[in-house]
């Protein structure tokens, strides 16, 4: 998608300002044989400056269970990442009362696309508020505000935090247990918010769900990592898992995924780490040994690994793994395969796992918001837009963004804060090895780490598009909510 011009921004803002009151609709869904009646509230939240000037409109969809006790009923604020992503993926993929109809693997069915009642909706145990940060979905700047006032690590946390504060106040939810659920960069936002809401607004969060997380960008920053070998270490276990999935390993490594991952973790965070730290001081003999092990764990040729100087970029891997078959593998979900026009380029032309989901989710969100939620607008719903860039990375000017410190500070301040972390084995965007490294360096006590629950699924970044993973993911999250709330009584 191309950047929105200033004139287009003004027109869109004028149009959305007509919604002074949200649209309220009544619905029901049958989950586990029980009828759940709920209210959907769809609209714009006006953000204002301290002087009362209209700064932005944030689009949201809230689902509240009818007849529930608002004082004890949990409420979860949900968002995706990007930066530049709307909340459509979590909204219509896993958490909301409707879900995109796909096959059990996660492939879209041929058009016309459809969405159905979601028997796995989190509405079973929590109210839900899906938030589209400024610039995504239907959310836009207003008045004389500029995009850069919202498009940055700190600015984003502040604006979403202000939305949460206002929603909580206007809907009498201050006494409700409050949770945050974020995916991808949304986990960066959630970790930052967990501390920001405490210190800025005096709001303690009961639980944070981190889905395909990235808290420390040093663990994934290949493109800007001169002298930073950490990404290569953190990605290696996910590369091994992907090679196993595509049956590219020799029999000794192909037999068992758990055994393979154990070997990959041990090597990556042990012998491989020590080797990369030595740089040119690494002996030729040791370099050859490391090259051989990487080749065995990934199925890549020793020559290719050697030419990469022992450092395999994940996008190079996506092109190289099945190159002789003229097939690429996905980044968001490396289970999926694609085809390029040119088979000798260094990296894939596109991500087949993203291409798989873009059209059905886009079609569904446009239809669902207008048809089911009765919210009418001719504005463009920005599913995933580059217009939020350049993004201001804050402290990254002096290194790398690391909101793990914010999450740790929140856990130290609030000893009732629990964290749920979901990982896909085949995620080459935010790999599980990077998450494990980050959690192993979280600045909290070992006792506090007991409040962190980590789970794994045989799917990718959006593990919920895979039916078996969705079922297990839903059960794991429900258990997390039950356990967290039980410990607060």
Cis peptide before 112 (omega within 30 of 0): yes
**Domain shared by 333 and 397, yes or no:** no
State CA 176 to chain mean position distance.
25
Q: Are residues 237 and 272 in the same domain?
A: yes
Residue 122 and residue 477: Cα distance in Å, rounded? 8
The model's pTM is 0.94
| pLDDT for the residue 11 | 35
Residue 30: other Cβ atoms inside 10 A: 10
The structure tokens listed for 197 are 């809401």
Cβ atoms of 180 and 208 within 8 Å: the answer is yes
Q: What pLDDT score was predicted for residue 399? A: 75
- Are 36 and 149 within one domain? yes
In a domain, 1, yes or no: no
Residues 138 and 66 in one domain: yes
- Report the C-alpha gap between 457 and 376 in whole angstroms: 38
End of a domain among 350, 374, 402? 350
Domain end (from 302, 333, 350): 350
CB 14 within 8 A of CB 142: no
Q: Is 236 left (phi over 0), alpha (psi -120 to 50) or beta?
A: alpha
pLDDT (0 to 100) of residue 488 = 60
Name the domain boundary from 293, 326, 350: 350
Q: Can you read off the two tokens belonging to residue 196?
A: 């920001």
- For 204-262, give the DSSP string: --SEEEEEEE-SBGGGT--TT-TT--HHHHHHHHHHHHHHHHTT-S-HHHHS-HHHHHH
Same domain, 108 and 256: no
For residues 279 and 226, the answer to whether their CB atoms sit within 8 Å is no
Range of the domain at 90: 6-218+357-486
- For 339, which DSSP code? -
113 and 234, same domain (yes or no): no
287 shares its domain with 343:
yes
155 in the same domain as 111: yes
**Cβ atoms of 420 and 179 closer than 8 Å:** no
Identify whether residues 12 and 86 lie together within a single domain: yes
Q: Report yes or no: 374 and 23 within 8 Å, Cβ to Cβ.
A: yes
Q: Going residue by residue through the chain, which has 489 residues, state the pLDDT in tens, using 9 for 90 and above.
A: 333 333 333 333 444 444 568 999 999 999 999 999 999 999 999 999 888 899 999 999 999 999 989 889 999 999 999 999 999 999 999 999 999 999 999 999 999 999 999 999 999 999 999 999 999 999 999 989 999 999 999 999 999 999 999 999 999 999 999 999 999 999 999 999 999 999 999 999 999 999 999 999 999 987 656 789 999 999 999 999 999 999 999 999 999 999 999 999 999 999 999 999 999 999 999 999 999 999 999 999 999 999 999 999 999 999 999 999 999 999 999 999 999 999 999 999 999 999 999 999 999 999 999 999 999 999 999 999 999 999 999 866 557 999 999 999 999 999 999 999 999 999 999 999 999 999 999 999 999 999 999 999 999 999 999 999 999 999 999 999 999 998 665
Report yes or no on 144 lying in a domain.
yes
Say whether both 311 and 432 belong to one domain. Answer: no
Give the CATH number of the domain where residue 470 resides: 3.40.50.1820
Q: Are residues 91 and 182 in the same domain?
A: yes
Q: Are residues 145 and 258 in the same domain?
A: no
Q: How many domains does the chain have?
A: 2
In-domain check, residue 171 = yes
């Amino acid at each position: 998608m191309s950047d929105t011009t200033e004139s287009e921004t003004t027109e869109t803002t004028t149009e959305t300002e007509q919604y002074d009151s949200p649209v309220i609709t009544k619905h029901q869904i049958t989950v586990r044989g029980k009828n759940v009646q709920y209210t959907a509230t769809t609209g714009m939240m006006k953000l204002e400056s301290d002087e009362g000037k209209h700064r932005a409109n944030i689009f949201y969809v809230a689902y509240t269970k009818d007849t529930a006790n608002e004082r004890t009923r949990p409420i979860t604020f949900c968002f995706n990442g990007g930066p530049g992503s709307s909340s459509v993926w979590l909204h219509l993929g896993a958490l909301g009362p409707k879900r995109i109809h796909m096959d059990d693997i996660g492939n879209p069915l041929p058009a016309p696309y459809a969405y159905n009642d979601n028997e796995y909706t989190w509405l079973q145990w929590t109210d839900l508020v899906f938030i589209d940060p400024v610039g995504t979905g239907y959310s836009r700047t207003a008045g004389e505000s500029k995009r850069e006032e919202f498009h940055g690590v700190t600015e984003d946390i502040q604006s979403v935090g202000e939305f949460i504060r206002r929603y909580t106040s206007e809907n009498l939810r201050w006494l409700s247990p409050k949770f945050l659920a974020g995916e991808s960069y949304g986990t960066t936002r959630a970790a930052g918010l967990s501390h920001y809401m405490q210190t800025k607004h005096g709001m303690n969060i009961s639980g944070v769900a981190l889905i395909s997380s990235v808290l420390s960008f040093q663990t994934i920053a290949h493109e800007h990592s001169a002298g930073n070998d950490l990404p290569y270490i953190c990605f290696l276990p996910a590369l091994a898992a992907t090679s196993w999935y595509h049956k590219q390993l020799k029999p000794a490594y192909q037999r068992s995924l758990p055994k393979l991952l154990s070997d990959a973790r041990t090597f990556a965070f042990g012998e491989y780490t020590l080797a990369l730290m030595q740089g040119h001081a690494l002996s030729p003999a040791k370099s050859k040994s490391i090259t051989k092990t990487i080749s065995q764990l990934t199925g890549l040729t020793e020559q290719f690994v050697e030419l990469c100087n022992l450092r395999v970029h994940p996008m190079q891997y996506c092109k190289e793994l099945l190159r002789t078959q003229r097939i690429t593998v996905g980044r968001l979900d490396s289970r999926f395969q694609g085809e390029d026009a040119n088979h000798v380029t260094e990296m894939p032309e596109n991500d087949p796992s993203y291409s798989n989901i873009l059209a059905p989710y886009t079609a569904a969100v446009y239809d669902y918001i207008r048809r089911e939620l009765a919210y009418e607008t001719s504005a463009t719903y920005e599913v995933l837009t580059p217009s939020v860039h350049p993004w201001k990375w804050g402290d990254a000017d002096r290194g790398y963004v690391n909101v793990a410190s914010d999450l740790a500070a929140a856990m130290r301040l609030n000893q009732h804060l629990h964290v749920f972390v979901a990982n896909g084995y085949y995620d080459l965007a935010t790999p599980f090895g990077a998450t494990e490294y980050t959690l192993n360096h979280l600045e909290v006590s070992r006792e506090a780490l007991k409040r962190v629950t980590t789970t794994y699924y045989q799917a990718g970044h959006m593990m919920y598009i895979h039916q078996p993973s969705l079922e297990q993911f839903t059960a794991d999250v429900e258990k997390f909510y039950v356990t967290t709330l039980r410990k607060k009584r």
